[in-house]
Structure 1
Amino acid sequence: MSNSVTAKTSYEFVYCTKPQLKNIKVFGALGYANIPDEKRRKLDAKAFKCRFMGYEDGVSRT
């Protein structure tokens, strides 16, 4: 069966549920990456500016 006929995504065919899209980020979006306590001194910054480049293959986070 074709997805265009049934109006379902591949995810819906495999898992029989709609995907959760509330945590999907836009590629190139500005963000901040945390610097762990062990890698900084008392007055150092706690994070640094970065851009979202994509999701790591094989990693599932909920």
Structure 2
Amino acid sequence: MKEYNYRVEFFPIGELRVGTGVDKAKLEETLNAYAANGWRLRETALCGELGFICVFEKKEEKG
């Protein structure tokens, strides 16, 4: 039986904004940290002027 765990990471837009762009290094660092622990990126969403949301998923075998 498979079970899925989920985690949500929120990045406030103020922390990501660099001039007119986005701090890609900060996003990559977080994505790589999750990937190293077996998590995969499931969904992303931009929440207007509030921030950026990443949903991570990890499959666990039970039983």
Return the index of the structure with the highest Cα Rg: 1
Structure having the higher strand fraction is 2
The answer to whether TM tops 0.5 is no
More helix by share: 2
User: Which structure ranks higher in relative contact order (CA pairs < 8 Å, sequence separation ≥ 6)?
Assistant: 2
Q: TM bucket by the smaller chain?
A: under 0.3
